[in-house]
C-alpha cells in the first residue's frame, strides 16, 4: 500500500491535518487515516507500506472540466482580432469553423496532448471533451469512422488526464436548414449511424457520453432516440442550450417553445443530463431543470469572452440545480479563475456579494469547490470529486507556502484559493493514484 502524507487534506468534513491518504492498486482511495495517535505516537502501518511525505502541501480532489472543445485552444489570442464591424458569438463562430476545417487527426492529437497537459498543470484531472469534428472536411468518413475521437483518446492517455468523450451528434445548421459546407464534417447521415459510432467507441473501452450538439443542430427524433439510449445504457448526456438569444428565438419560431421546453418534451432532461450554459433560461425553463434534476455546466471565462451574458446564478441555487464548470473554448485553463468568475459575474449581475454559497452563513469557497469537483464528477459519471474511501485517487497538491496564499488559515484557505490565487499554486497532480504532473 502507498500513502500520501500532506500537511492537510480536504475531506467531506473539511480540512484535516496529518491524514494519510492510502492509495490502492486500482487507482482509488483505499482509506484516510491519522498519521499520529492522540498521544503523538506514529500509527503503525502494514509491512512494506510506502509513505510519501508532502510537507507544506494540502490535498484537494482533482478538478473536473466538464465541457471542453480542445481544438479551440488554437484560437487563443487569434480570435480577439476583428472579424467584422460588429463582432459577436456568431462572427467568432466563423473563426472557429475556419480552425475546425484545418484539423486532421495528427493536428488534433498534437493540439489535444498539449492542451490536456496544460489542464493537468492547472489542476484539472478529468475532462469532458465535447467532440464534434468527426469526419473529413468534405463530410466523408475517415477509413475508421472514429479516427478523430481515437486521436483524442490517445492524446489523453499520453498526457495522463482522465477523459470522458462526449461524442456529439450533429445533423443540420438550424431548424429546417441543412448543414453549411463548413459543418459537413460534424454531421452523421442518421441517428443510427451516430449511435453506431458511439457503440464502436465504447467497444474500445473508452468512457463515452452522448452529446446532441443543440436543439439547432439536432432534430426532435434524434433527440428522443439519443435520450432513450442514454437512459437505457446509463450514460451521461450533454447538450448546449440557451447560450444565445437567437437560438431561443429560432426555437420559438420553429417549435412554439423555448429550447429547454423542447428538451423536456423530447425527454432529454433528467439526472443523467447536463445542459451547457443555460445563460438565458427563463423561469419556466429553470423549473424544468430543477424538477428533472438536470445539471447545468457554466463556462464563465468563455461566456465572458464570447459576450454570451451572465447566467441566472441565484435562480440555479434557489431551485437546487447542481452547477459544474467547463473551460469550453479553452481561452483560459485555470479552475480557480473559472470559479472566481462564476461568483464575480453573479455579483455583477445582482449587485451583491456572496451569491454562490451553500447557506446564508457560508463563504463561497466550499460551494465553489463542490461545483469544480463533486458536481462535475457526477455530471460525467466519474466516481471522483471527493477525497473519501472508494473514490478515484484523482488529487491535486497545493503549495501552502506560495506567496499568493500567505496568511491562510484552515477557516479561509478555500476562499484564499478561489479569490486570491491562480493555478500557479498547483504543485503536483495525480490521476488514478499515478503522479502525472509535478512542478
Ligand atoms: Zn461548447
Nearest to 410, CA basis, from 7, 3, 4, 5: 7
**pLDDT value of residue 43:** 87
3-state class of 406 per DSSP? coil
User: Ligand 1 centroid vs 25 CA: distance in angstroms?
Assistant: 35
How close are the terminal C-alpha atoms of the chain, in Å? 25
CATH 2.30.40.10 fits 2-61+385-438, yes or no: yes
**pLDDT value of residue 187:** 98
The C-alpha cell at 208 is 463515452
The widest CA-to-CA distance across the chain, in whole angstroms, is: 74
Q: Which residues pair with 21 in a beta bridge?
A: 4, 32
Grid-cell match 466519474, residue found: 382
Dist CA 49 CA 53 (whole Å) = 13
User: Ligand 1 centroid vs 238 CA: distance in angstroms?
Assistant: 10
Dist CA 269 CA 232 (whole Å) = 14
Q: Taking all residues of the chain, what is their mean pLDDT, rounded to a whole number?
A: 97
User: Ligand 1 centroid vs 301 CA: distance in angstroms?
Assistant: 12
Residue 339 confidence class, pLDDT cut points 50, 70, 90: very high
Where do the domains of the chain lie? Answer: 2-61+385-438, 70-379
Q: Is residue 264 within a helix (H) or strand (E), and if so which, with residue range?
A: helix 259-265
Residue 44 confidence class, pLDDT cut points 50, 70, 90: confident
Phi and psi at residue 332, to the nearest 5°: -140, 145
Contacts of residue 435, defined as CB under 8 A and 6 or more positions apart, other chains included, come to 428, 429
Tell me the chain's radius of gyration from C-alpha atoms: 22
pLDDT in tens, 129-188: 999 999 999 999 999 999 999 999 999 999 999 999 999 999 999 999 999 999 999 999
Residue 85 confidence class, pLDDT cut points 50, 70, 90: confident
pLDDT in tens, 407-438: 999 999 999 999 999 999 999 999 999 999 99
**pLDDT value of residue 84:** 86
pTM: 0.98
Kindly give the pairing relationship between strand 273-277 and strand 295-298: parallel
Task: From residue 362, give the alpha-carbon distance in Å to each of 357, 421, 422.
Answer: 6, 20, 22
Classify 189 in phi/psi space as left (phi over 0), alpha (psi -120 to 50) or beta.
alpha
**The domain at 70-379 falls in which architecture?**
Alpha-Beta Barrel (3.20)
Q: CA torsion sign, 33 to 35 to 41 to 42?
A: positive
Q: Tell me which residues are annotated as active site.
A: 277, 328
3-state class of 246 per DSSP? helix
3-state class of 1 per DSSP? coil
Dist CA 76 CA 93 (whole Å) = 13
User: Ligand 1 centroid vs 400 CA: distance in angstroms?
Assistant: 34
User: Ligand 1 centroid vs 61 CA: distance in angstroms?
Assistant: 24
Q: Say how many C-beta atoms besides its own lie within 10 A of residue 370's C-beta.
A: 20
Amino acid at each position: 500500500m502507498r500513502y500520501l502524507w500532506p500537511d492537510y487534506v480536504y475531506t467531506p468534513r473539511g480540512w484535516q491535518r496529518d491524514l494519510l491518504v492510502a492509495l490502492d492498486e486500482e487507482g482509488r482511495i483505499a482509506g484516510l487515516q491519522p498519521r499520529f495517535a492522540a498521544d503523538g505516537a506514529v500509527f503503525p502501518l502494514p509491512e512494506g507500506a510506502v509513505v510519501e511525505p508532502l510537507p507544506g502541501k494540502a490535498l484537494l480532489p482533482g478538478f473536473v472540466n466538464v465541457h471542453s472543445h480542445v481544438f479551440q485552444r488554437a484560437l487563443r489570442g487569434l480570435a480577439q482580432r476583428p472579424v467584422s464591424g460588429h463582432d459577436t458569438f456568431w462572427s467568432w463562430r466563423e473563426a472557429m469553423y475556419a480552425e475546425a476545417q484545418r484539423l486532421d487527426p495528427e493536428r488534433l492529437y498534437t493540439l489535444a496532448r498539449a492542451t490536456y497537459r496544460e489542464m493537468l498543470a492547472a489542476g484539472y484531472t478529468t475532462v469532458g471533451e465535447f467532440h464534434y469534428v468527426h469526419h473529413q472536411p468534405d463530410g466523408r468518413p475517415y477509413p475508421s469512422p472514429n479516427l478523430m475521437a481515437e486521436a483524442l483518446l490517445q492524446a489523453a492517455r499520453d498526457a495522463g488526464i482522465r477523459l470522458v468523450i462526449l461524442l456529439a451528434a450533429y445533423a443540420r445548421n438550424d431548424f429546417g436548414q441543412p448543414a453549411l459546407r463548413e459543418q459537413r464534417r460534424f454531421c452523421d447521415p442518421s441517428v443510427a449511424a451516430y449511435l453506431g459510432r458511439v457503440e464502436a467507441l465504447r467497444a474500445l473501452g473508452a468512457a463515452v457520453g452522448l452529446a446532441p450538439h443543440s436543439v439547432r443542430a439536432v432534430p426532435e427524433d434524434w433527440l428522443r432516440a439519443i435520450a432513450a439510449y442514454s437512459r437505457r445504457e446509463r450514460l451521461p448526456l450533454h447538450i448546449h442550450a440557451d447560450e444565445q438569444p437567437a437560438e431561443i428565438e429560432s426555437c420559438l419560431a420553429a417549435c412554439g417553445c423555448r429550447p429547454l421546453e423542447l428538451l423536456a418534451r423530447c425527454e432529454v432532461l433528467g439526472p443523467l443530463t447536463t445542459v451547457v450554459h443555460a445563460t438565458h433560461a427563463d423561469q419556466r425553463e429553470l423549473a424544468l431543470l430543477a424538477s428533472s434534476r438536470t445539471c447545468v455546466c457554466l463556462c464563465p471565462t468563455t461566456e465572458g469572452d464570447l459576450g454570451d451574458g451572465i447566467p441566472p446564478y441565484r435562480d440555479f441555487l434557489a431551485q437546487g440545480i447542481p452547477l459544474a464548470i467547463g473551460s469550453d473554448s479553452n481561452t483560459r485553463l485555470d479552475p480557480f479563475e473559472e470559479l472566481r468568475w462564476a461568483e464575480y459575474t453573479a455579483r455583477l449581475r445582482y449587485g451583491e456579494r456572496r451569491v454562490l454559497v451553500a447557506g446564508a452563513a457560508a463563504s463561497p469557497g466550499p460551494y465553489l469547490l463542490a461545483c469544480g469537483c463533486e458536481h462535475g464528477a457526477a455530471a460525467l459519471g466519474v466516481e471522483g470529486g471527493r477525497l473519501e474511501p472508494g473514490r478515484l485517487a484523482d488529487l491535486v497538491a497545493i503549495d501552502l507556502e506560495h506567496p499568493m496564499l500567505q496568511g491562510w488559515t484552515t477557516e479561509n484557505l478555500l476562499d484564499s484559493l478561489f479569490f486570491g490565487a491562480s493555478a500557479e499554486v498547483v504543485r503536483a497532480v495525480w490521476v488514478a493514484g499515478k503522479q502525472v504532473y509535478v512542478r
